[in-house]
């Protein structure tokens, strides 16, 4: 789901998949300030990378003596965040552990991750 907010000067769009900032435009000027993705190079735009940015050694994370697989850039960019609050100038997303993430180390990392995108006057 795409959510939109604007403060009259700047307008943003956020995709709930990965709580990814999809668009950043100056109101009245349809110039797009964000990369819009290109499958040839990279389809993402501005993903939330959690719990890691880049690779972890041997694609594994060790937690409490147990080893778990963990891919590049973590898992949050591939999960749907819940929009838990929308105000005139902010969007707040929540990401909670699922049955699937509970099978991996992510249940130890992820109880609830909140991300708030604020719209400030520029």
* Domain coverage including residue 35: 2-48+80-118
Residue 53 lies in a domain: no
In terms of pLDDT, which residue wins out, 115 or 76? 76
Is residue 57 reached through a cis peptide bond, with omega within 30 degrees of 0 on the bond before it? no
Residue 36 lies in a domain: yes
Residue 32 lies in a domain: yes
Residue 110 lies in a domain: yes
Q: pTM for this structure? A: 0.77
Q: What is the pLDDT of residues 107-117, one digit of tens each?
A: 555 544 445 55
Residue 33 lies in a domain: yes
Q: How many domains are there within the chain?
A: 1
| Cβ-contact 21, 34 below 8 angstroms | yes
Q: What is the pLDDT of residues 78-120, one digit of tens each?
A: 888 889 888 888 888 888 777 777 666 665 555 444 455 555 5
- Interatomic CA distance for residues 59 and 40, integer angstroms: 25
For the chain, state the CA radius of gyration. Answer: 16
| Cβ-contact 81, 106 below 8 angstroms | no
Residue 24 lies in a domain: yes
Residue 68 lies in a domain: no
Q: Using 50, 70 and 90 to split pLDDT, how confident is the model at 122? A: very low
The mean pLDDT of 67-80, rounded to a whole number, is 83
E strands present in the chain: 2-6, 10-15, 20-26, 29-32, 60-63, 66-69, 82-87, 90-96, 112-118
Query: What integer pLDDT is reported at residue 119 of this predicted model?
Result: 53
């Amino acid at each position: 789901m795409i959510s939109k907010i604007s403060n009259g000067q700047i307008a943003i769009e956020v995709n709930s998949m990965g709580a990814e900032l999809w668009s950043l435009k100056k109101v009245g000027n349809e110039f797009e300030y964000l990369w819009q993705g290109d499958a040839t190079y990279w389809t993402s735009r501005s993903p939330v990378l959690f719990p890691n940015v880049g690779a972890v050694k041997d694609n594994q994370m060790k937690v409490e003596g147990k080893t778990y697989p963990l891919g590049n850039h973590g898992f949050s960019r591939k999960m749907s965040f819940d929009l838990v609050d929308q105000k005139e100038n902010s969007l707040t997303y929540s990401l909670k552990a699922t049955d699937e993430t509970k099978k991996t180390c992510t249940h130890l990392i992820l109880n609830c991750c909140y991300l708030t995108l604020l719209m400030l006057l520029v």
